[in-house]
Amino acid sequence: MRSNGVVVVGSSNTDMVIRVKHLPRAGETVLGGEFMTAAGGKGANQAVAAARAGARVSFVACLGRDSLGDRALAGFIENGIEVSHVTRTADAASGAALIFVSRHGENSIAVASGANDRLSPTHVRRARLAMLRARVLLVQLETPRATVEAAVRLAVKQGMLVILNPAPARLLPNRLLRLVSILTPNEAEAESLTGIKIEDQTDAMRAAKALRSRGIPTVIITMGAQGALVSHGTDTELVGSFKVRTVDTTAAGDVFNGALAAALTKGRRLHDAVRFANAAAALSVTSMGAQPSAPMLPAIERFIATRSKPRRVGRLSGHGM
């Protein structure tokens, strides 16, 4: 019997974060302020964000047999994530990321993939029953593309909604994109996929149209403080964001995707699900760290209830969604 669950197939890293006055340029050493470590990795971030936003989550991932992997696994369990398909390997270290965060909240990230590169289509196939029971598959691109494709194809066979967050940006074949239900690039990723430089809403609309022409039913381009441009059916609209004081933008996109998946499992309309995800992402940038910044469902609901409705820029083309 299919539940309202989410299966996340993806990466897990430990983030090592230094706050700096400004991001280092090539060859420059910047004396930093506070140092912290936090659980991260796009797949793990999205799994935790979805779980905290109220979804039942099963995570398919690969960790090293090391202390970083031990700590990551304990964190998944603490967040109520089902971990029977989190594999441990002795052939590689657990993934790690080095992150600089400026005083303006901007970040620069380098990643050592480690065990994430060992996540294979075989691991995905072993999770078939978990996928059969869930409603949404959420995937990103920090694991091998063959693994992502295997997960998407299996999910489509089993009638799941497939959300692909194409991050980090890389070229993707149409045979994969045609199987995706919802594509969620940010502006840079949309530019990488289409060649269209996004500087305003008009550019974003053009990029969304180009992506839709490749067979994707729904494209959501996240645009930071502006909100999220949603292209679905004959309609395109910009769902406005919430104004907050930015501390750290690390994982804001991951929180958006996890919260979006959670909202869709609850049967929310697309516009309402995107607004919910915008609220979760806005809350996440008000605190440091990747997974630590993912808000809990009550906090998201309180935030929405106590804020005036964000400016809905409105439909930019077509008919109602």
Q: What is the set of active-site residues?
A: 254
206 phi and psi angles, rounded to 5 deg: -65, -40
Question: Sheet of 228-232: strands edge to edge?
Answer: 86-89, 57-64, 6-9, 136-139, 161-164, 182-183, 218-222, 228-232, 235-239, 312-317
CA–CA dist 99, 37 (Å, integer): 10
Q: Which residues pair with 230 in a beta bridge?
A: 220, 237
Q: Match 């199987």 to its residue by tokens.
A: 179
φ and ψ at residue 269, rounded to 5 degrees: -60, 155
27/24 Cα distance (integer angstroms): 8
Q: Show the beta-strand stretches assigned E in 126-204.
A: 136-139, 161-164, 182-183
Name the residue with tokens 């999205």: 46
d(CA 157, CA 106) in angstroms, rounded, equals 40
Number of other CB atoms surrounding residue 287 within 10 Å = 12
Residues with Cβ within 8 Å of residue 295, at least 6 apart in sequence = 52, 53, 255, 280, 283, 284, 303
